[in-house]
Structure 1
Amino acid sequence: MSLNRILVADDEESMRWVLSKALRKKGFTVDLARDGEEALRQIQAGDYDLAILDIKMPGITGLDLLDRVRELKSDLLVVIMTAEASMKNAVEAMKRGAYDYITKPFDLDIIDAIIEKVSKARELTAQMSILREEIKERYLLEKTIVGNSVAMREVYKTIGKVAPSDITVLIQGESGTGKELIARAIHFNSKRIGKPFIALNCAAIPKELLESELFGFEKGAFTGAVERKLGKFEQANGGTLFLDEIGDMPLDLQAKILRVLQEKEVTRTGGSQNIAVDVRIVAATNQNLEEQVRQKQFREDLYYRLNVVPLQLVPLRERKEDIPLLVDYFLGKTCTELEVPIKKCAPDTMNLLAAYDWPGNVRELENTIKRAVILSSDPLLTPADFPGLHIQHKGGPTAADELSLEALVDMKLRASLTNLDKMESGDIYNLVLKQVERPLIRFVLEKTRSNQVKAAEILGINRNTLRKKIQELAIDIRKD
């Protein structure tokens, strides 16, 4: 984490001028304050990396301001300046949380040394913060990736083999199979743990914004670019960049991604400087990239760059032995999140769940379990709590897409009568809309042979809205 913005607060104009000139010459953004009150206002309004405060100023003193900083911006590092080289001042400043303490007059070399020390401290703090979060997430991931089937054991083996290296991995699988979880597992078991894991869904961002998201932009590069922004490649420097749904990336942008992979450097939009990046790429798609290459919708050279190690996630219908484990996991997770007693599935309920094909895969199973837990007031879930799973149609929307209105009303009435003291406003209207929305979109996509542009026109919605709905509702797009 680089040092960028600095606040200098001193009632001596000459000191403010000298420090601002020296720091700006080194490329820092410097704001000035002539007293404690002005400095406090700027700290409250701004986002500073370092504050250099004089110990004696009119109104709020440097030490009092230091106390306020600890309350308002605990991560802001503060250096105290004083003309009185007393042990009492030094001890008091450090006791109140100052990062360092310097005595006037001082050479600018002292400031240079402090700046370097502050930069290293911030970098170390950032790395430790990332490491703590990643260790926590790695622990959670070990509990989240559930499955003991032959297919999942092969996935675990592949993760173990590829994680230690920097080799590029292409994860392929239907929507809802857990591709991002696998990407995170690869990162957290690699030597890059402690560095960032940055994820970007290429299908969720409009084409015109995707390039600046990936490569960043310079201030003034376009209307609205009021300050420099780092792209995902720079944010992931030293770590892993997960490019989800890469099959949806526009062809012109694919060429730029290929260049980054070859040259290992990026150029921000509106900039001319080539910036070196050290990033491991893990990509994912629910599309057939080989077919897209044949249809000239995906660059062949980029495909071979990404497909160094292919990792195929099988759909849930092909590893049904994992369903009981997943059901128990999602029941425990949902009940814990909702702070309700743990619920279980009756044996015939588990048989029903295991027999269903789950076109939306693990994501659909999780949402179905969550809905049943919310709607059922009983500790034991029965087949009646999953009315949409009793019948499966071949071709067109499945019965899981369409929740029986009679069963839904019945469940809501039972829940209300059981919890009369906790009755809330009815939400059947919204629930029914959600149930109708998914089969409608699936039906239109089926009739248009998954042509999303045509489907969006028929539905009367924006294409980006349709894409988001496909993702949110875990709709499997199958092309003939």
Structure 2
Amino acid sequence: MTDTDRPRSARILVIDDEKDMRQSISQWLSLSGFQPEAHASAEEALRAITPDFPGAVITDIRMPGMDGMALLKRLMGIDASLPVILITGHGDVPMAVEAMRLGAFDFLEKPFDPEKMTDLARRAVKARAMALENRALRQELADGKTIMRRLVGASPVMTRLREDILDYGQADGHVLIDGETGTGKTMVAHALHAVGPRAGKRFVSVSCQGEDEGRLAARLFGPVKETGGLPLIEEARGGTLCLEDVEALSPALQARLLTFINEQGAPAATRIVAICNNHAPDRTVEDALRPDLYFRLASMKLTLPPLRARGEDIMALFQSYAETFAEEYGCPAPDLSAQDAAHLLQAPWPGNIRQLISIAEQVVLQSRRGSGSVISLVMADNETAGSAMTTEGKPLKEYVEAFERTLIDTTMKRHKGSIVAVMEELCLPRRTLNEKMAKYGLSRSDYV
């Protein structure tokens, strides 16, 4: 097992009524980097299992009292995504196959290779971690307050965007979301659903890009022959159907979508949130959609601001992501100079927030190695040095405020919140420093 494959003390419940087998499995798992917890009976193990148990289960099938099959059914009732590995005798293989049908992760036939058990355990805990992560993400996306907090920024355009989301979320009409790549359009679609009366209903998303027209038509409107499931317009009934890359819909599918919208009437049983991701300079979403469909979808329209138009939000976002990556990589967050701040503010950010996150991670990694600077990284991220300067320009006031905030912030960090030391270094009287800290939302308590 390589270091990258080695589990990070993942918990595994080992259940076997035979003490020697229980101890042997636990010892091997412990040597392999897991955190085994041995139990002599299914009843005892059940007391340690919760719906969010962060690990896997390895259990013998044949045990007195509750056997492995009965335990599997109980565990699937607690959490159907919990990985359960069954240990079987030679004659129990048909039973193990039935257990797989009921939801078991896999089975081991005695005598088994310990390395195979380790590999199964590693795959099980990895699957479990992914399932719990996806569950947490779904819960977060369903929580209106949580997702609105992710739409950070104090710039006027972001303040207006949050207000519009709250207003449109309570309304019932369809929404069209436009904006450059990387501006967070999908997150805004989730937010519209999460803050409105449909929050408890389904949010169903599908990309209209890169899929065969016939297959996409069947997925949207039915019949769904491959799986026998409901078409997406029915699956999302009462909730929200999010159409990513709506500009890629063929004329025929646009006509069917318009018919569906018209037949729903008002209020709509299924709300459509359409996202446009095409930003060719000579083609807008209004050009790509038939006029009657465009006006039905754009009765409420949100155009997300590009990062370069968000002023000091750029610095706040960059520092937030840099601190997150620094914590992840176990190193201090890099201090930014006024020159770094100027470069961040002037960069065109064609990839917007997605690009900023990537740059923040690179800066932290370079800082950890003691080399590189944000300036060189931003320059390298653009095709040429000249492209690193936006042609749109910003008021001098924005640059000055960004410099002031960055200088005060980094100086406060360096002096661990010592007001006297900051006053001396920046040659500022106490009253002026206090006023500027209040203006930029900086508090001494954050640095002490």
1:67 aligns with 2:71: yes
The alpha-carbon distance between structure 1 residues 191 and 379, as it changes in their structure 2 partners (threshold 3 A), is: farther
The count of aligned residue pairs is: 271
Q: CA deviation at 1:312?
A: 1.5
Matches within 5 A, 1:223-302: 225=226, 227-264=227-264, 278-287=269-278, 297-302=288-293
Alpha carbons 2:178, 2:185 under 8 Å: kept: yes
Q: 1:180 — aligned with what?
A: 186
List per-residue Cα deviations over 1:37-92 (Å, max 9, x = no partner). Answer: xxxxxxxxxxxxxxxxxxxxxx999975543311355457xxxxxxxxxxxxxxxx
Q: CA deviation at 1:287?
A: 4.0
Amino acid at match of 1:281: I
Q: 2:333 — aligned with what?
A: 343
Identity across the alignment (%): 29
Three-state SS of the structure 1 residue aligned to 2:170 is coil
List per-residue Cα deviations over 1:257-287 (Å, max 9, x = no partner). Answer: 112212239xxxxxxxxxxx82111112144
**Which of 350, 366, 369 matches 2:357?**
366
Unaligned runs of 5+ in 1: 1-58, 77-128, 266-276, 401-480
The alpha-carbon distance between structure 1 residues 139 and 345, as it changes in their structure 2 partners (threshold 3 A), is: farther
Amino acid at match of 1:304: F
The alpha-carbon distance between structure 1 residues 380 and 151, as it changes in their structure 2 partners (threshold 3 A), is: farther
Q: CA deviation at 1:203?
A: 1.9
The alpha-carbon distance between structure 1 residues 359 and 294, as it changes in their structure 2 partners (threshold 3 A), is: closer
**TM-score between both structures, scaled by the size of structure 2:** 0.52
Alpha carbons 1:293, 1:299 under 8 Å: kept: no
**Which of 298, 301, 311 matches 1:307?**
298
| Alpha-carbon distance in 1 for matches of 2:332, 2:202 | 35
The alpha-carbon distance between structure 1 residues 329 and 203, as it changes in their structure 2 partners (threshold 3 A), is: farther
Alpha carbons 2:347, 2:388 under 8 Å: kept: no
List per-residue Cα deviations over 1:167-186 (Å, max 9, x = no partner). Answer: 21111111111111111111
List per-residue Cα deviations over 1:197-225 (Å, max 9, x = no partner). Answer: 2222222534343223323434xx4xxx2
**TM-score between both structures, scaled by the size of structure 1:** 0.49
Alpha carbons 1:243, 1:283 under 8 Å: kept: yes
Alpha carbons 2:177, 2:185 under 8 Å: kept: yes
Three-state SS of the structure 2 residue aligned to 1:377 is helix
The alpha-carbon distance between structure 1 residues 367 and 305, as it changes in their structure 2 partners (threshold 3 A), is: same
Q: 1:133 — aligned with what?
A: 139
Q: CA deviation at 1:378?
A: 5.2
| Alpha-carbon distance in 2 for matches of 1:195, 1:384 | 46
Amino acid at match of 1:352: H
Alpha carbons 1:172, 1:285 under 8 Å: kept: yes
| Alpha-carbon distance in 1 for matches of 2:299, 2:286 | 19
Three-state SS of the structure 2 residue aligned to 1:242 is strand
Amino acid at match of 1:71: L
Unaligned runs of 5+ in 2: 1-61, 81-134, 391-448
The alpha-carbon distance between structure 1 residues 140 and 372, as it changes in their structure 2 partners (threshold 3 A), is: farther
Alpha carbons 2:346, 2:389 under 8 Å: kept: no
Alpha carbons 1:317, 1:358 under 8 Å: kept: yes
Three-state SS of the structure 2 residue aligned to 1:281 is strand
Alpha carbons 1:178, 1:362 under 8 Å: kept: yes
1:213 aligns with 2:204: no
The more displaced of 349-358 and 382-391 is 382-391
1:327 aligns with 2:318: yes
Alpha carbons 1:349, 1:381 under 8 Å: kept: no
Q: CA deviation at 1:189?
A: 0.7
1:162 aligns with 2:152: no
